[in-house]
Structure 1
Amino acid sequence: MSDDTAGGSRLTARRDVARPLSAALVSASAIPLFGLQERPAGYAVLVVGLVVAALVDRALLRHLLLIGAGLVIISSMSLEADLSDAGMLRFTVTLTAAVAVPYAISRWVYREDVITFPIGTGNRWSRFEFGYLALVVVGGYLILPVYFLGSGAYLNWPEISGANEIARLFVGVNGVGLWDELFFVCTVFALLRRHFPFWQANLLQAVVFVSFLWELGYRAWGPLLTIPFALLQGYIFQRTRSLPYVVTVHLTFDVIIFAILVHAYNPDLADVFVTDPR
């Protein structure tokens, strides 16, 4: 083998390592940004990931910049649940921007259609999809009360009482659930999937997803639930290519979570959970 050939092989090998490393660093920046709430450390990890991408793959860099932009926008506010007018407005504006900015840059600056929100697939749900949704309902009903009420995770949400606060909670929980799929699946996963095999892209989006959920309030042993959930949402989206279906799955969980939170602070309301450990 000539020196030129050997040198080229080494460069290719280094590039093959550096590409996933750069994406892993960008995704891992979500751990200090959201999971640990150490913003400076998170920004440092994010910048290193982008620099590595700039050195080895400019096309990958363009898409990691979009993910990074979304993460920085989200990190500009606290994710602590807040049902006040100001809190709900802050969540709406910030989370909308985290999806809208990457989408706008991708569509009108990069002139590409990587980020899409597939609504009208024209396909009926399959037996698998109906069966999985039924499993979600049963599993969520049995498992989620054990987690939220047994671990005390419900205390990460503000105490609610009265119709107004309950209505605000319903809108907030389901609004964030819808946004989760627009950002983590339709944006982060879709951008990573353009450069990496499914399993790598799915693992990387799950890191960001679970870190966000941790700061949002899914703590204690919550990652035992949120990690498989994030991975399954990526898998379901890859399989169905249907945003309405993954949103339906997610909001099914969220409706159960909403009912648990109402019951947690108002024990006489939504008293339908047979696995309530209290």
Structure 2
Amino acid sequence: MARTHATGATRVDPLVLAGALLVCLSAPAFYVLRVWWLGAILLLAGLAGAVVADRRDPEGIRREIGLTRDLSLIAAGLLIVSSMSLEAKLDNLSILRFGLVLGGAVAVPYVISRFVYRDHAIRFPWRGGGRWGRLQWGWLVAVLALGWLILPFYFISSGVYLNWPVVDTPDLIARLFVGVGAVGIWDELFFICTVFALLRRHLPDAAANPLQAIVFVSFLWELGYREWGPLLTIPFALLQGLIFLRTRSLAYVVTVHLLFDAVVFAVLVHGHNPGLLDGLFLV
């Protein structure tokens, strides 16, 4: 088996893939099916497979990085998020709970990795690959245009905007704006900088990216992106992974996400307040 390293594995070991897949499949169990015991079983099965993979040494080359260790960090984050309902609410207690739970899902794996395992598996490379080129700036414009064309039709025609609370006062609209943006930033910290980064230490990018997308899309489903939402969120999750690989920039993937979420915010306000933003959207 080829050595694994910090920038990604070179080959797929079926046992490694199986362990990682089982851990990632716990996300739809937790967040889509909402069957906690099934998610826990999948996590345990994935970690058990990781233990076997770490102990086995078929070609006489010892694994440099423990799969069990890294999958346990992902499992910790998933378990922390699963400790609460992800139903969008805007009262003070719900906002505090969201902040503590989602913050803990990023902070706990990072602290364990950095100070217990003493490695830098989880990083937050804000600047990444340097200045953005024309392609990067062009994609930002495209994100706004695609969001403006697609998101109003999705939210309004499917009725999924009703999965978010009514925002019909300045205070609630402000809370929604902050909440949508904060969750968008968190998405990239957890799904890309934590889950994807840890998977890449053991799997090629072409395998690690779909696995992080499983977790990403499952979280978004419980958050409210239901009905035919996965037709949008699956490509988005995969593209965010690819963009991060190309730019190495957390700032860029966060910017893409926040532009997308800015349109989401405007559409939610539009859906809950007929007549307020009718001139802005086609639906």
TM-score by length of 2: 0.91
For the 8 Å contact 1:142–1:273, the answer to whether it is kept is: no
For the 8 Å contact 1:28–1:208, the answer to whether it is kept is: yes
Within 5 A, what are the aligned runs for 1:13-32?
Answer: 16-32=13-29
Q: Letter of the aligned partner of 2:177 in structure 1?
A: F
For the 8 Å contact 1:177–1:251, the answer to whether it is kept is: yes
* Higher-RCO chain (CA-CA 8 Å, sequence separation at least 6): 2
The match for 2:43 among 37, 42, 46 is 46
Residue 125 (structure 1) aligned with residue 122 (structure 2): no
Unaligned runs of 5+ in 1: 1-14
1:160 to partner: Cα distance: 1.2
Q: Which has the larger radius of gyration?
A: 1
Distance 1:20 1:28 in 2: 12
Aligned residue number for residue 266 of structure 1: 273
- Greater helix percent: which structure? 1
Q: Letter of the aligned partner of 1:225 in structure 2?
A: L
Aligned residue number for residue 63 of structure 2: none
Within 5 A, what are the aligned runs for 1:47-126?
Answer: 47-57=44-54, 59-121=66-128, 123-126=130-133
1:121 to partner: Cα distance: 3.4
Q: Letter of the aligned partner of 2:38 in structure 1?
A: A
Q: Letter of the aligned partner of 2:52 in structure 1?
A: L
Q: Letter of the aligned partner of 1:149 in structure 2?
A: I
Aligned residue number for residue 61 of structure 2: none
1:271 to partner: Cα distance: 2.4
Identity of aligned residues (%): 59
Residue 205 (structure 1) aligned with residue 212 (structure 2): yes
The match for 2:157 among 126, 150, 154 is 150
1:122 to partner: Cα distance: 6.7
Aligned residue number for residue 228 of structure 1: 235
Residue 251 (structure 1) aligned with residue 244 (structure 2): no
For the 8 Å contact 2:129–2:247, the answer to whether it is kept is: no
The match for 1:37 among 12, 31, 34 is 34
Distance 2:186 2:76 in 1: 16
1:147 to partner: Cα distance: 0.3
1:120 to partner: Cα distance: 2.9
Deviations 1:162-185 (A, max 9, x none): 100000000111100000000000
For the 8 Å contact 1:145–1:273, the answer to whether it is kept is: no
Aligned residue number for residue 166 of structure 2: 159
Distance 2:253 2:127 in 1: 13
Distance 2:132 2:232 in 1: 25
How many residues of Structure 1 are paired with residues of Structure 2 in the alignment?
Answer: 262
Distance 1:32 1:201 in 2: 19
For the 8 Å contact 1:30–1:211, the answer to whether it is kept is: yes
For the 8 Å contact 1:33–1:42, the answer to whether it is kept is: yes
TM-score by length of 1: 0.92
